[in-house]
Structure 1
Amino acid sequence: MDRRCKFWLPKKNRFCANAPLQESEFCGNHKPGWEQLRIPCPIDPSHSILRENLDAHVKRCPLQKQVHQLQMQPFYKKGVNGGRDEDSSELITSDKVEEHPSSKFTKSCSESSDISSEMKRNAIYKMSVPEFTELLTKIKSIHTSITSSMQDSYAIPEACSIWIKTQVDRKLPFQEKHILQQASILGNLEAFGILQRPMDLIDPESEVHLCSDDSSRDKIGSPAVVEFGAGRGYLTHMLVDCYGIKKVFLVERKSYKLKADRSLRQKERMTIERLRIDIEDLNLNAIASLSGIPYLAIGKHLCGPATDLTLRCCLPEQYSQSKVSGLSINCNLKGIALATCCHHLCQWKHYINKRFLSSLAITKEEFHAITWFTSWAVDADHGSNLSESVDWGLHLCDIKVNESGVGVNRVEEIVRNMKAVDRAVLGFVCKEIIDVGRLMWLKDYGLEAQLVKYVPSNISPENHLMLAKCSNHL
């Protein structure tokens, strides 16, 4: 039997399968003492290398060739959709917002452009009890002032019946809860007037019309769909099967197995392009095959800042400036449907509407606190719709402030003693504040937009769907 490395891998519940070094029981990756000599690969930090082998490894790292090929693409532009890390003080005058007592918290964090969840949590725990309670009171007041009628819109269209009734290839790896989410996204697109149902629901090959002037559509050919954060691409697969789309672009930075691409390419007259690129670096206007074609931008569960990056990608800031100056804009974007997700990962630098937050006197540090609270939205039992709860349950009056006991342990103790339902409600409130800011940005842009809960929270607590459509004059 071949000798194997004696290093035990707990996650895989087995020993390492690599061959050991000569006169050693371990391979080069797991030899005791070598971990101090290893450093993360500068090209792909997911693996490490010996410091002495750095120069040689960089030349042959498998990711190096991929990075070089990507940088040569005309649609690659580093950080084009990333946003800027300016403070709120740059967006509004100082006489509108007084310095909040909590502005000193996360002082060390604010020096970094990428704030981790651990940094956000530690910063909150360092607050005094009065600062913490004032922050919660402020969040409640803001939510009350911006609350709009965000309707439940669980819409399963008849066009998606072939998927709902599992009349598709049984080999496709999908789960019922994902089918329901995808179908409701498409149903809301139809209800919002962005998609029209095929003339013949029985024939999945019948073509769909984006809501635009039919004569202009005839001149430019079939519309396209761009799915951001596409993953395996099954939202697009359902859209193609049920609405007859013929041209799709799948934007995803990671590599996946069991993708929908193979099944899509087998369809007649189907054009599919997969762009393996970070949304932050994608210049959508430089994709030659998309030039001059009206398109619909979609995304399911765009984690954290990916929603903000997508909005900038579809509606670059220079277009907004042109609109303000009264210039006409040649915009091929016809509609947007983005299901937001993982708000706890949001970053101030990337957030699309800092001006909105600043008008509400939300500082950069408070924004990071709000994003951390959003992770609580998935803490409780979602058998009931917690996002509709009227009573906050944040019993602020019950929090006794002991001046002699102010400190890290006091706030941490308050957080740990909060009921799960109270934490969840606060999480939903903070998620809504973040998404309403995005919605207002779209409206300020001149788009017709709305925010809906597209599935019940017992299907997915990440149930916010942002819809927008462009007018013909854009």
Structure 2
Amino acid sequence: MASSNNTTAVTCAYFLQTKKRYCRMSVKPGRKYCGEHASLDAANQVCPTSAAKYARTPCPYDPNHSCFVSQLAKHMEKCNSKPKPLPEYIKENINVIDNDEEIKVNLGTLSDKELLAIIARVSKIHSEFVGELPVSVGRHPVLEATLASLTESRGSWRHVFQSSSILYNMAKVGVLTSGEMRSTYVEFGSGRGQLSYAVGQAVDLETDALLMIDKSSPRHKHDNRYKVDGESHASIHRVRADIADVDLGQVPLVRNDTKRLVGIGKHLCGAATDLALNCLHRANNPNGLVQGVCIALCCHHQCTWRHYVGKAFFKELNLSQTDFAIMRAMTSWAVCGSRQAKEHSDPAGENEAKTSILPGRYAAMGLDIERREHIGRQCKQIIDRGRVEFLSSWPLQAKLLYYVEPDISPENVLLLAHAPLR
């Protein structure tokens, strides 16, 4: 708010409402407002001959500050808000497969007959192409001391146990090796980097490297534990970017100093898994740079057709984009009966329960909670089977397995792939 009650000509006449006082910035002779607030006054309170000279405009990079119109070009060269040039490995939507418009399906709009028909089809496809997943729960020795120091009732113990079992399964198929050749382990959606930190303890960082990709920059990152005298470890790197935009093969670490690439992720939600797989696929080469993939899957209700890498598998089964959307909606059933599964919320399932489905409808159809959970898991695994087929075409040997018990995490399926064992 501007006011003329301030009689002091030396300081700005703009009244700061939140601070209940006038701005204390000095003003130029003959002017009423400082440079910061001059643009807020249309008349600018200057004589006509000097109005053009002192005219100000909001900065194109950040409208929260302004500059003289006459000095705009010079200001834009040195403005602190000027966007920094993007690295050569950042290319917008390079890992997005296509731009198909998403189809959204509300299960409440399907008739009982239609819903039962798609359920029967899901069960048939699951039986023929997925089957029962093997269980491979284990612990890697590198995390035994950490597990022993935590209480099993704490959430942190469960997270470390999941990482331990992921490392166990990576080692089991030979993708967690060290010393043979320069390997880079790329964690997608790394967050604080807990999984990368665990991998770093299991390999030799004198020869191997860690690369973490995440669009946010969280506090208390685990890779800070590798710092010496405030300096980052030479073998640990972070890329702050959306997975959709990362041309992995152009990241200097991968392009110049990597002989073997392994992609990892822990609870990589929905479409992020498909973006990560396509990112790795683009970085692969005829010599098989990508030697392994190990991703703990989750949040299938957030998958999208435009990002999904398993389209070819769906089309082979004569499944359409609409069928994909229906299965995606039914994946929320997989945790509908779990009162302890707070690790991942499911707003899609909640909305269905509150608004889309009449009370008692499922009971009348013979779809109790246990049956719906089973169908939801089948839908998840069919979507994941498309990802397995995508990896198998590289070629890698790929499979799905349970890597922890459901009481540790209801999202307990691991996508594991490795180069053919020689």
Q: Same fold (TM over 0.5)?
A: yes
Question: Which deviates further from its counterpart, 254-263 or 434-443?
Answer: 254-263
**Are the aligned partners of 2:95 and 2:278 in contact in 1 as well (CA < 8 Å)?**
yes
**Are the aligned partners of 2:126 and 2:378 in contact in 1 as well (CA < 8 Å)?**
yes
Residue-by-residue CA offset, 1:265-293 (whole Å, 9 max, x unaligned): 23996422111101111000111122241
Q: Secondary structure at the match of 2:414?
A: strand
Q: Give runs of aligned pairs for residues 207-246 of structure 1, distance below 5 A.
A: 208-209=178-179, 214=180, 217=181, 222-245=182-205, 246=208
Q: Give runs of aligned pairs for residues 305-454 of structure 1, distance below 5 A.
A: 305-316=271-282, 329-381=286-338, 414-415=361-362, 418-454=367-403
Q: Compared with structure 1, are the counterparts of its residues 57 and 435 closer, same or farther at alpha carbon in structure 2 (3 Å cutoff)?
A: farther
CA distance in 1 between counterparts of 2:371 and 2:96 reads 34
The unaligned stretches of length 5 or more in structure 1 are 1-17, 23-54, 87-111, 197-207, 320-327, 384-407
CA distance in 1 between counterparts of 2:317 and 2:115 reads 18
Q: Compared with structure 1, are the counterparts of its residues 428 and 268 closer, same or farther at alpha carbon in structure 2 (3 Å cutoff)?
A: same
Q: Secondary structure at the match of 1:60?
A: coil
Q: Secondary structure at the match of 1:301?
A: strand
Q: Which residue of 1 aligns with 2:37?
A: none
CA distance in 1 between counterparts of 2:129 and 2:164 reads 29
How many angstroms does 1:413 deviate by?
5.3
**Are the aligned partners of 2:61 and 2:82 in contact in 1 as well (CA < 8 Å)?**
no
Q: Compared with structure 1, are the counterparts of its residues 409 and 302 closer, same or farther at alpha carbon in structure 2 (3 Å cutoff)?
A: closer
- The one-letter code sitting in structure 2 at the alignment partner of 1:120 is V
- The one-letter code sitting in structure 2 at the alignment partner of 1:306 is A
Q: Compared with structure 1, are the counterparts of its residues 161 and 270 closer, same or farther at alpha carbon in structure 2 (3 Å cutoff)?
A: farther
Q: Compared with structure 1, are the counterparts of its residues 454 and 57 closer, same or farther at alpha carbon in structure 2 (3 Å cutoff)?
A: farther
Q: Secondary structure at the match of 2:95?
A: coil
Q: Secondary structure at the match of 2:61?
A: helix
Q: Which residue of 2 aligns with 1:126?
A: 109
How many angstroms does 1:379 deviate by?
2.0
- The one-letter code sitting in structure 2 at the alignment partner of 1:369 is I
Q: Which residue of 2 aligns with 1:177?
A: 158
CA distance in 1 between counterparts of 2:105 and 2:329 reads 6
CA distance in 1 between counterparts of 2:294 and 2:387 reads 13
How many angstroms does 1:433 deviate by?
0.6
Matched, 1:60 2:45: no
What is the total number of aligned residue pairs between the two structures? 334
- The one-letter code sitting in structure 1 at the alignment partner of 2:240 is R
- The one-letter code sitting in structure 1 at the alignment partner of 2:262 is L
Q: Compared with structure 1, are the counterparts of its residues 275 and 269 closer, same or farther at alpha carbon in structure 2 (3 Å cutoff)?
A: closer
- The one-letter code sitting in structure 1 at the alignment partner of 2:91 is K
Q: Secondary structure at the match of 1:458?
A: coil
CA distance in 2 between counterparts of 1:356 and 1:141 reads 15
**Are the aligned partners of 1:132 and 1:411 in contact in 2 as well (CA < 8 Å)?**
no
Matched, 1:272 2:236: yes
CA distance in 2 between counterparts of 1:157 and 1:378 reads 28
**Are the aligned partners of 2:305 and 2:324 in contact in 1 as well (CA < 8 Å)?**
yes
- The one-letter code sitting in structure 2 at the alignment partner of 1:80 is I
**Are the aligned partners of 2:243 and 2:279 in contact in 1 as well (CA < 8 Å)?**
yes
**Are the aligned partners of 1:154 and 1:454 in contact in 2 as well (CA < 8 Å)?**
yes
Residue-by-residue CA offset, 1:422-468 (whole Å, 9 max, x unaligned): 22111111111111111111112211112111000110011111111
CA distance in 2 between counterparts of 1:330 and 1:65 reads 44
- The one-letter code sitting in structure 2 at the alignment partner of 1:345 is Q
CA distance in 2 between counterparts of 1:81 and 1:268 reads 29
The unaligned stretches of length 5 or more in structure 2 are 1-15, 21-56, 65-78, 341-354
Q: Secondary structure at the match of 1:175?
A: helix
Q: Compared with structure 1, are the counterparts of its residues 59 and 194 closer, same or farther at alpha carbon in structure 2 (3 Å cutoff)?
A: same
Question: TM-score of the superposition, structure 2-length normalised?
Answer: 0.71
CA distance in 1 between counterparts of 2:112 and 2:304 reads 25
Cα RMSD, aligned residues only: 3.3
How many angstroms does 1:380 deviate by?
1.9
**Are the aligned partners of 2:211 and 2:236 in contact in 1 as well (CA < 8 Å)?**
yes
- The one-letter code sitting in structure 2 at the alignment partner of 1:60 is D
CA distance in 1 between counterparts of 2:235 and 2:118 reads 51
Which one of the candidate residues 285, 307, 312 is aligned to 2:249? Answer: 285
Question: TM-score of the superposition, structure 1-length normalised?
Answer: 0.63
Question: Which deviates further from its counterpart, 374-383 or 126-135?
Answer: 374-383
Q: Which residue of 1 aligns with 2:419?
A: 470
Give the fraction of aligned pairs with identical amino acids, expressed as a percent: 27
Residue-by-residue CA offset, 1:234-293 (whole Å, 9 max, x unaligned): 111111123333521110012211111311223996422111101111000111122241
**Are the aligned partners of 1:163 and 1:238 in contact in 2 as well (CA < 8 Å)?**
no
CA distance in 1 between counterparts of 2:363 and 2:213 reads 40
**Are the aligned partners of 1:85 and 1:348 in contact in 2 as well (CA < 8 Å)?**
no
**Are the aligned partners of 1:265 and 1:271 in contact in 2 as well (CA < 8 Å)?**
no
- The one-letter code sitting in structure 2 at the alignment partner of 1:252 is D
Greater relative CO (CA pairs within 8 A, separation 6+): 1
